[in-house]
Amino acid sequence: LVIVFGAIASGKKSSFKDVVIKRCQTFLKEHSNMARENDCEIIWKAFEQAYIGRDPCDIPPEAYDPLINSVKQDVVCNTMLFWSKTKDMVQAFTDKRDCLVILEGTLLGALFDGLTWCSKNESQETFTTDCPSWSYCQNNSVRSFWNRASSNFAATACGNVSAMLNGSLEAPFSSTSTFGSIEVKMLDHSKVNSLTVLLVTKETDTTTCDNPSFHSLQNTLDTKIAYKCRKVPYSKVEGCISDLEIPCSDCL
Ligand code: ZNA
């Protein structure tokens, strides 16, 4: 208590490391079956070595391999959900339901979602401001992390998987998105049976499952994996976000 008060009195904000360690401990409290296999300090060290002391535009996705290997989490087949341009809705939907799991609902994704970090050549520090933006350079510390984490999430997927896409867009599937350029390609036909697009559509939207962008999705998808697409009314998803009594099977 004295230390906490000292931190408040001196106006010192909690460090980036404190935020990540706190998220890690909270996640392991909520998923107590994972606590034995995961060590938050070891995960932090593996994370840090990817970018500390390096040019923030020169972090290849592979720099995060030790981090990926330090996190132990079993995947549950038939529950994996990908998304593109639907982040807020998907996070609200999956937050309190276990029927579908997104990357941000796994330990790895939960630790770093919404955060920004980078270092510099010769530095031992983590900075959370003035880091390269998403598109400023390809191999920036944050984007490479999400590319590597997304690639791993998709590579471990199994059974029937789904993707929530935005039916308010003229082209809901984009081959340059993380979903289109990494996740679809990493699905392994020896484990994944089908990919179902859940096209979330508002009443006034005109985009359907016949949208031409889904041809490029099917061309990218391994031919051994079945492709399906279904329109899901936005109002139905909203209803399921606000009323947890509605079973998942009635939501999608
Ligand atoms: N949680 C994340 O921040 C994140 C998650 C970032 C990138 C990828 N993912 C994976 S891939 C997630 O689990 C989904 O399955 C996949 C979504 O990636 P996407 O297909 O590229 O979808 P999107 O909506 O275009 O972008 C996803 C997120 O990436 C956004 O919400 C932003 O946080 C970030 N992002 C993408 N493009 C930009 C960007 N941020 C800033 N500028 C951009 N141009």
Residues 6+ apart with CB under 8 A from 54: 63, 119, 120, 121
Ligand 1 atom 15: residue of nearest CA: 82
pLDDT at 77: 98
Q: Is 103 in the pocket of ligand 1 (CB under 6 A)?
A: yes
Whole-complex ipTM: 0.91
pLDDT tens digits, one per residue of 26-74 = 999 999 999 999 999 999 999 999 999 999 999 999 999 999 999 999 9
- Closest-lying ligand 1 atom to the alpha carbon of residue 183: 11
Which secondary structure element, helix H or strand E, spans residue 227, and what is its range? Answer: strand 226-233
pLDDT at 14: 77
- Closest-lying ligand 1 atom to the alpha carbon of residue 135: 44
Nearest-angstrom CA–CA distance, 199 and 227 = 13
Nearest-angstrom CA–CA distance, 231 and 201 = 7
Beta strands in 1-152 (DSSP E): 81-84
Residue 240 annotated among the catalytic residues of the structure:
no
The answer, as to whether pTM is greater than 0.90, is: yes
pLDDT tens digits, one per residue of 94-115 = 998 999 999 999 999 999 999 9
Q: What spatial distance separates the first Cα and last Cα of the chain, rounded to whole Å?
A: 46
Ligand 1 atom 33: residue of nearest CA: 114
Please identify every stretch of the chain with a pLDDT value under 70, giving residue numbers as ranges.
1-13
Nearest-angstrom CA–CA distance, 14 and 129 = 14
- Closest-lying ligand 1 atom to the alpha carbon of residue 87: 31
Q: Give the active site residue among 57, 99, 158, 248.
A: 158
Residue 131 annotated among the catalytic residues of the structure:
no
CA of 150 to the centre of ligand 1 (A): 10
Nearest-angstrom CA–CA distance, 247 and 228 = 22
Which secondary structure element, helix H or strand E, spans residue 196, and what is its range? Answer: strand 192-201
